[in-house]
Amino acid sequence: MEIHVDKNACVGCGLCVKDCPMHVYELQDNVSVAVRPNNCMGCLSCHEICPAQALEHRGIYAARRHYIDIKVCEMLRKVV
């Protein structure tokens, strides 16, 4: 598992540090650093909680997603 933190985007709020149950992140000089990437089990809570969207995971298993509303998807497809 590779975790990349965009240092320019990270605001150092520490939410990922508090939220991660496996203590993957640590704040160093007010920037989040993935110190234990091998402990990451890929829940992606940190992605959801990060206000700056500064995180990127590589080599992760993406779970099946059925919950996205079909009509919303159709509308998004027209826009994107």
> Residue 71 is inside which H or E element, if any?
helix 70-79
- Is 43 strand, coil or helix? coil
62 binds other proteins (CB under 8 A): yes
Beta carbon nearer to other proteins, 8 or 18:
18
Window 8-47: residues binding other proteins (CB under 8 A): 21-22, 36, 38-39, 41-45, 47
37: its two tokens:
């990437």
When binding is defined by CB under 8 A, the residue of 18, 58, 64, 78 that contacts other proteins is: 64
78 binds other proteins (CB under 8 A): no
When binding is defined by CB under 8 A, the residue of 29, 61, 74, 77 that contacts other proteins is: 61
- Name the residues that contact other proteins, by CB under 8 A: 21-22, 36, 38-39, 41-45, 47-48, 60-67, 69-70
